[in-house]
């Protein structure tokens, strides 16, 4: 399959000097379900804004759906669908009217539009609320309507900026199901950003983990987990600051330990077989009078990958509504 997005050395420097996107390169294949996973402020939304023609890049190049971002933004707009982080539906219009207006923006002819709108209302299960004003919808319903408006013209490429942030688990699961269906059945390429590793793990076949405007690591979720190559054991010590250096020494010398890194519990150890090595750790600490306060272990998760590469965990934050943040960083 050919690339539908090709990005080379993309940089975005805001007017205050912040490097929101710091020299990233990646590509997305047609039909792919591609994800950007990273914490708040990592540069995910900025990248989407650039690729959807909302924000001008500082440097680098990008080809989206066969069109150069600088030269043919109009052609790009015809074939992409975008759901931004802030749910943007017109509360004074009904769900149906929101969809119809969006169809008009996309220049769909009347008969086709009518049919498409009914189809979408069914898809996102808003048929019963179709003629109610969107103002009265719940948060989950608004998100679903917003998603439907992005789909009205059957975009080849769909950009979703944190589509499930702030949703309850039930609504989230519903959105996940639509997206999987869309990708599988209609072949729509999806570019999604998220700060939820479960979401990235469940949906994305290709993933780039992004932090401080840089791509830290990329690959399929399975590949990435294989790279960690080990289970993780999280250790808390009663006196972390005092005992940490000696604990690290002891751990690195144990057989079977692949790496030891600082984490918020105190230390995280990666080892081939966590079940066996825990006993060794407890014994070794006991001998050295280091007091453990808790031990837990698990198979590798995407969070472990993030932790291994950045020394921090992804900490999903519920979004605080920041009005007009979307165009706020535009260079003047």
Partner 1 sequence: MTLFSDTRYLFVRYLKKLVRNPILLFFSLFQPIIFLLLFTQLFSSFSNLQGFSKATGGASSYLEFATAGILLQNAFGSALQSGTSIVLDLDTGYLQKMLVTPVSRYAILLGRLTSDAFRVVVQSAIIIALAYALGATVVTGVGGILLMLFTVAFFGLAWSGISLAIGLKTRSSETVFAIGGFLTFPLLFMSTALTPKLFMPNWILSVSNFNPISYTVDAARVLMINGYDWATVLKAFGVIGLIAVVTLGATLYLFRKVVS
User: Contact positions toward partner 1, by CB under 8 A?
Assistant: 52-54, 56, 74, 77-78, 80, 82, 84, 86-90, 92-93, 97, 101-102, 104-107, 133, 149, 323-324, 326-327, 330, 332
- Sign of the Cα torsion 149, 151, 157, 162 reads positive
Helices 240-253, 274-287: inter-axial angle, 10-degree rounding: 120
Instruction: Tell me the HSE value of 202 on the side-chain side, using a 13 A CA sphere.
Output: 13
CB of 86 or CB of 280, closer to partner 1: 86
Q: Which is nearer to partner 1, 86 or 262 (CB)?
A: 86
C-beta closer to partner 1: residue 105 or 282: 105
CB of 54 to partner 1, least distance (A): 6
The Cα–Cα gap between 182 and 242 comes to 53
Residue number, 24 or 80, with CB nearest to partner 1: 80
Torsion sign (Cα): 44, 50, 56, 61: positive
Cβ neighbour number for residue 159 with a 10 Å cutoff: 24
> With respect to partner 1, which residue has the nearer C-beta, 104 or 122?
104
Contact 167, 139 (CB under 8 A): yes
Question: In angstroms, what is the minimal distance from the CB of 135 to partner 1?
Answer: 9
How crowded is residue 281: how many other Cβ atoms within 10 Å of its Cβ? 23
> Residue 7 or residue 80: which is nearer to partner 1 going by CB?
80
How far the first Cα of the chain sits from its last, in Å, is 39
In angstroms, what is the minimal distance from the CB of 31 to partner 1?
A: 22
Q: In angstroms, what is the minimal distance from the CB of 84 to partner 1?
A: 6
Task: Give min distance, CB of 323 to partner 1, in A.
Answer: 4
Minimum separation from the CB atom of position 104 to partner 1 (A)? 5
CB of 139 to partner 1, least distance (A): 14
Nearer to partner 1, 142 or 234 (CB): 142
């Amino acid at each position: 399959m050919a690339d539908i997005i090709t990005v080379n050395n993309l940089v975005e420097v805001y007017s205050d000097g912040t490097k929101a996107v710091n020299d990233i390169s990646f590509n997305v294949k047609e039909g792919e379900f591609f994800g950007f996973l990273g914490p708040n402020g990592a540069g995910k939304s900025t990248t989407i804004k650039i690729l959807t023609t909302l924000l001008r890049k500082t440097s680098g190049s990008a080809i989206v759906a066969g069109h150069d971002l600088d030269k043919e933004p109009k052609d790009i707009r015809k074939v992409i669908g975008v759901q931004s982080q802030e749910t943007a539906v017109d509360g004074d219009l009904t769900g149906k009217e929101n969809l119809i207006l969006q169809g008009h923006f996309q220049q769909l002819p009347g008969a086709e539009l009518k049919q498409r709108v009914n189809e979408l209302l069914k898809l996102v299960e808003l048929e019963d609320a179709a003629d109610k004003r969107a103002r009265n919808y719940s948060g989950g319903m608004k998100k679903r309507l917003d998603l439907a408006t992005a789909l009205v013209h059957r975009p080849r490429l769909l950009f979703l900026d944190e589509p499930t942030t702030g949703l309850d688990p039930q609504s989230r699961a519903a959105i996940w199901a639509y997206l999987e269906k869309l990708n599988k059945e209609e072949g729509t390429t999806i570019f999604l950003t998220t700060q939820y590793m479960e979401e990235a793990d469940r949906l994305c076949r290709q993933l780039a983990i992004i932090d401080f405007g840089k791509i830290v690591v990329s690959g399929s979720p399975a590949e990435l987990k294989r790279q960690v190559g080990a289970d993780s054991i999280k250790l808390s010590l009663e006196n972390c600051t005092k005992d940490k250096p000696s604990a690290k020494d002891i751990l690195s010398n144990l057989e079977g330990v692949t790496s030891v890194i600082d984490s918020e519990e105190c230390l995280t150890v990666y080892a081939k077989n966590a079940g066996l090595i825990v006993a060794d750790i407890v014994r070794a600490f006991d001998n050295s009078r280091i007091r453990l306060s808790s031990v837990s272990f698990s198979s590798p998760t995407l969070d472990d990958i993030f932790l291994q590469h950045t020394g921090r965990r992804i900490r999903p934050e519920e979004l605080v509504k920041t009005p007009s943040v979307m165009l706020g960083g535009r260079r003047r």
